[in-house]
Structure 1
Amino acid sequence: MRKRVISDVQQAGASPHGDWLNLEDLAEVEISSEDAAHPIESALVPGGGSGWRAAVSGKQTIRLLFAQPQTLRRIWLSFVETSVQRTQEYVLRCSADGGQSFRDIVRQQWNFSPDGATSQSEDHRVELAAVNILELIITPDIGEQAAFASLAQLRIA
């Protein structure tokens, strides 16, 4: 008899299976800030490490510039915060005209609490054609505390 234990809750930080784009080969990355110990590659490359973290507090931007326009069907994000209680907001948006105009994909808030919710994973199913810029704007604490933005993982298909 074959047996498998399943769970309704995915482990925090564990990337779901998918046909993910190789962002190292397809995109250039612009970031507003980066902690040298937690570079952006840690969030974008599978097995890359502990994720990205900003070097300064406040709102941060991660921008993927695709050399060739991409059709996007799935955007998976994972955030982890185990030490500070805060309400984070992120906005995902895209451009098909080189940044002349942007279209919001999603705007979402999440409450982190060291004694409760310490991780957030979002799997956005989308139908976006000819995307040449994908932008993630993270406001780490909408309550204006001096919080640092971070991103455990970002996968795109």
Structure 2
Amino acid sequence: MRKTIISRESREEPRSGTKWLDLGNIASVEISSEDPAQPIDAALQPVGAPGWRAAGPGPQMIRILFDQPQRLSRIYLLIDEEQLPRTQEFVLRWSADGKSFREIVRQQFTFSPPGTTVEQEEFTVELAGVAVLELEIMPDISGSAARASLGRLLLA
């Protein structure tokens, strides 16, 4: 996986039978930070090590830059938090030219360990000519020192 650092319980597997894109061969990724023990590479594969975690607190950005524009029909997200109660917000956006972005979804989710620790979303979309997919994560809307994490981000 090509990447660039930019400034600024039980897990269910994603729907079986879906042919997820091999992002390592068709895209590069830009990230605002990365914990070396939990690199972004792990979050962009259907199976494997636990996903990505930010190096520090605060808002984080993950951008998938496709080598060639892609048609997307599904976006799968898995986020978990087993330690800190917090309300997180994420925004998914896409762009055909890398300059003007269109919002796909903006969503908040409250983690309340030990009970509610996993947010799992699968969005059905019809997007053609996607050059860039952007995921912005605000790990805690109250501004605590929570670090963003991402178990999986899969695209089909």
State the TM-score, normalized to the length of structure 2.
0.91
3-state SS of 1:55 partner = strand
Return the letter of the residue paired with 2:119.
Q
User: How far, CA to CA, are the matches of 2:130 and 2:39 in structure 1?
Assistant: 24
Which residue pairs with 2:99 in the alignment? 100
Q: Cα offset for 1:46?
A: 2.7
User: How far, CA to CA, are the matches of 1:107 and 1:33 in structure 2?
Assistant: 21
Give 1:50-89 correspondences, 5 Å limit. 50-89=50-89
Contact 1:15 1:153 in 2 (8 A): no
User: How far, CA to CA, are the matches of 1:145 and 1:16 in structure 2?
Assistant: 33
User: How far, CA to CA, are the matches of 1:100 and 1:155 in structure 2?
Assistant: 23
User: For the pair shown, which has the larger CA radius of gyration, 1 or 2?
Assistant: 1
The percent of aligned pairs where both chains have the same amino acid is 55
CA RMSD after TM alignment: 0.9
| Pairing 1:48–2:48 present | yes
User: How far, CA to CA, are the matches of 1:132 and 1:59 in structure 2?
Assistant: 23
Give 1:15-34 correspondences, 5 Å limit. 15-17=14-16, 18-34=18-34
Contact 1:13 1:79 in 2 (8 A): no
User: How far, CA to CA, are the matches of 1:100 and 1:117 in structure 2?
Assistant: 37
Q: Where does the alignment leave 5 or more consecutive residues of structure 1 unmatched?
A: 1-10
Measured against aligned partners, the alpha-carbon deviations of 1:104-132 in whole angstroms (never above 9, x if no partner) come to: 00000000011321000000000001000
User: How far, CA to CA, are the matches of 1:143 and 1:14 in structure 2?
Assistant: 30
User: How far, CA to CA, are the matches of 1:93 and 1:72 in structure 2?
Assistant: 12
State the TM-score, normalized to the length of structure 1.
0.90
User: How far, CA to CA, are the matches of 2:70 and 2:14 in structure 1?
Assistant: 21
**Which one is further off, 121-130 or 43-52?**
43-52
Which residue pairs with 1:154 in the alignment? 153
User: How far, CA to CA, are the matches of 2:41 and 2:153 in structure 1?
Assistant: 10
User: How far, CA to CA, are the matches of 2:136 and 2:34 in structure 1?
Assistant: 14
Contact 2:86 2:140 in 1 (8 A): yes
Structure ranking higher in strand proportion = 2
Contact 2:20 2:46 in 1 (8 A): no
Which residue pairs with 2:118 in the alignment? 119
Measured against aligned partners, the alpha-carbon deviations of 1:42-86 in whole angstroms (never above 9, x if no partner) come to: 100233311000001000000000000000000000001010000
Q: Where does the alignment leave 5 or more consecutive residues of structure 2 unmatched?
A: 1-9
Q: Cα offset for 1:16?
A: 2.3
